[in-house]
Chains A and B, each alone.
Chain A
Amino acid sequence: MSESPKHGWRPGAAKKEHIDALAASGATVSDAGNVDEKPGVSLIASAWKRLRRDRIFLIGLTITIIFVLVAIFAPLIAPHDPTKPIPELIAKVRRQTNPIPGPEPGFPLGADDRGRDLLSRLIVGSRQTLIVCVFATIFSLLGGLILGTLAGALGGWVDSLVMRVVDILLSIPSLLLAFSVAAMAARPSQWTVIIAISIAYLPVFARLLRGSMLAQRHSDHVLAARALGVKRGAIVFRHMLPNSVGPVIVQATLVLATAVIDAAALSFLGLGNPDDRQPEWGQMLGKAQEYLADYPHMAFYPAACIIVVAFGFTLMGESLREALDPKSRR
Chain B
Amino acid sequence: MLRFIVRRLVQMVGVVFVLSLLLFIWLRMLPGGTVSAILGDRATPESRARLEKALGLDQPIWVQYWAYLKRALTGNFGASTGVLPGRDAFDIFLTRFPGTIELSFFAILIAVILGIPMGYLAARRRASFFDNASVIVSLIGVAVPVFFLAFLLKYIFAVQLGWLPVSGRQSNIDATRVTGFFVLDGILTREWDAAWDAFKHLILPAFTLATIPFAVIFRITRASVLEVLDEDFVRTAESKGLTNRIIRGRHVLRNALLPVVTTIGLQVGGLLAGAILTESVFSFGGIGEALALAFEHRDYSVLQVLIMASAATFVIVNLLVDITYAVIDPRVRTR
Residues of A within 8 A of B (CB): 1, 3-6, 9, 11-15, 18, 164-165, 167-168, 171-176, 179-180, 182-186, 257, 261, 264-265, 268-271, 282, 285, 289, 292-293, 296, 299, 303, 306-308, 310-311, 314-315, 318
Contacts and interface: CB of A to CB of B under 8 A. Distances in A.
Given A3-B263, A4-B220, A171 B145 contact: no
A268 B277 contact: yes
Contacts of B265: 14
16 contacts: A5-B223, A5-B259, A12-B329, A14-B262, A14-B321, A167-B15, A171-B318, A175-B270, A180-B307, A184-B26, A185-B31, A265-B145, A268-B277, A269-B280, A285-B148, A311-B139
A257 B276 contact: no
Given A5-B223, A176-B272, A179-B295, A171 B311 contact: yes
A5 B321 contact: no
Contact of B30 (A14, A184, A271, A308): A184
A212 to B, nearest CB: 20
Nearest to A2: B216
A265 B147 contact: yes
Q: Closest 3 interchain pairs by CB?
A: A175-B273, A186-B31, A310-B143
Contact of B259 (A13, A175, A264, A303): A13
B159 interface: yes
Given A183-B303, A270-B296, A292 B223 contact: no
Contact of B219 (A3, A180, A185, A306): A3
A259 to B, nearest CB: 12
B187 interface: no
Interface in B278-335: 280, 291-292, 295-296, 298, 303, 307, 310-311, 314-315, 318, 321-322, 325-326, 329, 331-332, 335
B318 A318 contact: no
Contacts of B322: 12, 14
B72 interface: no
A12 B296 contact: no
Given A6-B223, A168-B19, A269-B292, A12 B325 contact: yes
B26 to A, nearest CB: 7
Nearest to A292: B151
A168 B15 contact: yes
B145 A306 contact: yes
A14 B143 contact: no
Contact of B311 (A3, A165, A172, A271): A172
Contacts, number: 156
A80 B248 CA distance: 61
Nearest to B321: A14
Nearest to B225: A5
B262 A13 contact: yes
Given A168-B18, A172-B311, 11 more contacts: A4-B223, A5-B227, A11-B325, A12-B322, A168-B22, A175-B270, A268-B145, A269-B280, A285-B148, A299-B151, A314-B142
Contacts of A1: 142, 212, 215-216
Contact of A285 (B22, B145, B220): B145
A168 B18 CA distance: 7
A12 B335 contact: yes
Contact of A12 (B26, B148, B276, B332): B332
B140 interface: yes
Of B144, B148, B159, chain A has the most CB atoms within 10 Å of the CB of B148
B144 to A, nearest CB: 5
Contact of A269 (B29, B148, B295, B321): B295
Given A14-B318, A311-B139, A315-B139, A296 B155 contact: yes
B331 to A, nearest CB: 5
A175 B30 contact: no
B258 interface: yes
Nearest to B269: A173
A11 B332 contact: yes
B263 A314 contact: no
A289 B283 CA distance: 14
A129 to B, nearest CB: 13
B147 A289 contact: yes
Interface in B115-167: 139-140, 142-148, 151, 155, 159
A186 B142 CA distance: 31
A172 B270 CA distance: 8
A13 B321 CA distance: 10
B57 to A, nearest CB: 19
Given A5-B220, A184-B26, A11 B151 contact: no
Contacts of A167: 15
B224 A5 contact: yes
Given A5-B224, A6-B223, A9-B224, A265 B146 contact: yes
A15 B216 contact: no
A5 B218 CA distance: 12
Interface string B249-278: 000000000110011011001101110110
Contacts of A292: 151, 155
Contacts of B272: 173, 176
A184 B145 contact: no
Contacts of A171: 15, 19, 311, 314-315, 318
